[in-house]
């Protein structure tokens, strides 16, 4: 299946299988979502076509995922301002879509808007206080603000939630030097 191909790292095969699946039945929102996500990951403009179609869905979550895929495409292609706008649209479509808050925060971090990134991550934490990526990115933000004690605490919380989180391990080792 497409999902097992993705798990083995064969993105191309996964995209092919998902595309074939879409050809068999047009109204498969989860397949469209996965295909759009994969295409955005490989920086394919085709992800925007799928995302635009999804944004017109009557279902708030499907519309939110469409805007999210657009945001991922723009973030992956280095257009963080457009990504932030797309992630905002995703949040407006479904204010409980935590991934949109996290990705928005990452794009804000990349453009140097650290306090706004912290705000987005705080909203994500309100939705899911056990998401290790929220704590990891809060740690990075605190490190940017030269607040190493807070950064260390966030990295440690990341590792408590996900003991093998490579980013947190690397960041903590960096802070110890």
What would the two tokens of residue 41 be? 């990951």
pTM of the model: 0.84
- Counted residue by residue, the chain has a size of 177
Task: Please give the DSSP secondary-structure letter assigned to residue 163.
Answer: T
Question: Are residues 65 and 33 in contact, defined by beta-carbon separation less than 8 angstroms?
Answer: yes
- Per-residue pLDDT of the chain in tens (177 residues, 90 and over written 9): 655 665 676 665 666 666 666 554 445 667 788 888 999 999 999 999 989 989 988 889 899 999 999 999 999 999 999 999 999 999 999 999 999 999 999 999 999 999 999 999 999 999 999 999 999 999 999 999 999 999 999 999 999 999 999 999 999 999 988
Q: Which residue has tokens 């991922």?
A: 72
Alpha-carbon span 66 to 161, nearest angstrom: 29
CB 72 within 8 A of CB 84: no
């Amino acid at each position: 299946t497409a999902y097992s191909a993705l798990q083995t790292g064969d993105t191309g095969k996964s995209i092919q299988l998902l595309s074939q699946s879409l050809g068999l039945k047009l109204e498969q929102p989860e397949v469209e979502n996965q295909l759009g996500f994969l295409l955005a990951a490989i920086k394919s403009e085709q992800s925007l076509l799928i995302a635009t179609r999804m944004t017109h869905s009557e279902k708030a979550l499907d519309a939110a995922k469409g805007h999210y895929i657009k945001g991922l495409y723009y973030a992956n292609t280095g257009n963080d301002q457009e990504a932030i706008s797309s992630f905002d649209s995703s949040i407006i479509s479904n204010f409980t879509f935590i991934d949109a808050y996290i990705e928005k925060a990452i794009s804000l971090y990349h453009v140097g808007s650290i306090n706004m990134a912290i705000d987005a991550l705080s909203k994500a934490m309100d939705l899911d206080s056990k998401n290790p990526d929220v704590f990891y990115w809060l740690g990075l933000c605190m490190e940017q603000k030269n607040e190493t004690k807070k950064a260390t605490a966030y990295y440690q919380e990341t590792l408590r939630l996900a003991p093998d989180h490579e980013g947190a391990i690397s960041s903590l080792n960096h802070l110890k030097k």
